Amino acid sequence: MGTNVSADKDFFSAESYPAMNIAANEDPSIFVSEDAKEFVFAQKSNVQPDLNIYYAPIAQFNSANILWKPLCNSEDKLVGSIKFLDGKIYAMSYKDANNYKIISTDLKNPDWDNATTIASEKSMTLKNFSQSKDYLLMVYTDGITSKLFKYNPKTKKTSEIKLPFDGYVSAKRWDSKSNNFLVSTSSWNKPFSEFLYNAEKDVFTESPLNKPMVYPLKYKDLMVEEVEVKGHDGVMIPLSLIYNKGIKKNGANVCIMQGYGAYGKSLKPEFNAELNSLAVKGAIIAIPHVRGGGEKGKEWHQSGFKTTKPNTWKDFISCAEYLIDQGFTNSNKLGGMGTSAGGILISRAITERPDLFAAAINNVGVGNAMRFEFSANGPPNIPEFGTVKDSTECKALYEMDGMQHVKAGIRYPAVMNVAGWNDVRVVAWQLGKFAAALQNDSSSKKPVLMKVNYNDGHFTEDMAVTRANFADQYAFMMWQCGHPDFQPK
């Protein structure tokens, strides 16, 4: 700090280390770990989860040329983060394990082909793991509910930890010198709660950091229902529903669907104050766990990926049909939302089945997939969506492209497109082109709006802007879906 930028050292780049073969769509970075202080680590990464990490003795950090050695590469099939404990490396692997397993090898002489399996694949999906001074904590999920397990490297024994209540679980170590973890739990209808957990004593105590939020009593009447919906090809799609106790399945309820389906990311059962504020007003909140996400392991991700991407929006459509068939709502009261990569989901759902939806929100979402790779953040996303330079992937990108599927004379739902003017992840013209196509061609006479936040990027840390942003989106959705509290006087 304080020196001229021209004196900064280049530790890891394509220019200084050409032998590392850092591709144009990969981000180079370096890191150190207090659990392996004798080494410095370098990583190249993009949107794909496979780990490509190198390491070198920390003594070389000040040398003119660091002699980076491979620690792991894509062929090792490792994902997530790596942990160091007592001279060993621990990592998550999908080699012969669609739901992931944890394997270990020696730090100084890594041999992933002959690594020791310390947590075999389960019927549940391993989401992540963390460490303390003497233990590893592993979080598994069945797609919705989490379970927590403890592994003792000294005894090589694994045991399940009884949680304070069911829901999504996160575990982070308190420090490197104790066996304390911060364990947080949340569910669709229970607010975030945090505890201090001592792995050695197997005891939960009150968190010294965060106290549970207290919401009005009406939030205690929110119910959760977990169902599975048959998809277009017979695959069962998990669907989470949140609604007021005593709601009637008479087809008259406003229903808001929110989906994503990309990068193997799961929609976790976390308490969402904004969406639940609509649920207490009588709206049904529906969260389809579509393919492209990670709810059911790596295969679930790759079933909504590049050429299989249509499964993502077709799963969303199947869930919309289920909600109507079961009397939760009707097509005049059903709205859909997608954010970022979820823009592909929502733009294609409403262009493939415009008759199913009354309204839609495309929030900083991809609306012109065929041109996405030519934006600033496009190249790193090629491994997830594909490139127009490959004929097969180009056809897949066309299928993903909402703008390309807008047709003249079709009655499209009301749509609000929201962009950040400084957004380099999904540039504003992605939404602008989709909005313009709908404005030109829709025959429904329903509003198609384009909202631009000129001081923001993909997201913002200014919570006043964030709250106003979602207030606009939800008010628009509730208005267009016919909720009586949101109609003009």
Domain boundaries, the chain: 1-93+103-112, 122-214, 217-486
Q: How far separated are the first and last CA of the chain, in Å rounded?
A: 59
Amino acid letter, 140: Y
The pairing of beta strand 39-45 with beta strand 53-57: antiparallel
Element (H, E) at 182: strand 180-186
**Is there a contact between 317 and 356 (Cβ–Cβ < 8 Å)?**
yes
Per-residue pLDDT of the chain (489 residues; tens, 9 = 90+): 888 988 888 889 999 999 999 998 889 999 999 999 999 999 999 888 899 999 999 999 878 889 999 999 999 999 998 999 999 999 999 999 999 999 999 999 999 999 999 999 999 999 999 999 999 999 999 878 899 999 999 999 999 999 887 788 999 999 989 999 999 998 999 998 999 999 999 999 999 998 888 899 999 999 999 999 999 999 999 999 999 999 999 999 999 999 999 999 999 898 999 999 999 999 999 999 999 999 988 899 999 999 999 999 999 999 999 999 999 999 999 999 999 999 999 999 999 999 999 999 999 999 999 999 999 989 989 999 999 999 999 999 999 999 999 999 999 999 999 999 999 999 999 999 999 999 999 999 999 999 999 888 888 778 888 888 899 999 999 999 999 999 998
Question: Cα(442)–Cα(424) distance, rounded to whole angstroms?
Answer: 29
Longest dimension (CA), the chain: 73
Q: Which of 343, 285, 228 is nearest to 481 (CA)?
A: 285
Q: Which of 323, 222, 201, 312 is nearest to 265 (CA)?
A: 312
Q: In CATH, what is the architecture of 217-486?
A: 3-Layer(aba) Sandwich (3.40)
The pairing of beta strand 39-45 with beta strand 27-31: antiparallel
Question: Cα(445)–Cα(413) distance, rounded to whole angstroms?
Answer: 9
φ, ψ of residue 196 to 5 degrees: the values are: -100, 125
Give the pLDDT of residue 341. Answer: 97
Give the pLDDT of residue 456. Answer: 85
Residues 6+ apart with CB under 8 A from 212: 191, 192, 193, 194
Cα-to-chain-centroid distance, residue 465: 22
Give the pLDDT of residue 63. Answer: 81
Question: Cα(232)–Cα(248) distance, rounded to whole angstroms?
Answer: 27
Element (H, E) at 103: strand 101-106
Please report the DSSP string for 269-305 in residue order. ----HHHHHHHTTTPEEEEE--BTBSTT-HHHHHTTS
Give the pLDDT of residue 265. Answer: 92
- Evaluated on CA atoms 428, 434, 440, 444, the torsion sign reads negative
Give the pLDDT of residue 165. Answer: 78
List the structure tokens of 82: 């790596």
- Would you give the DSSP letter of residue 115? P
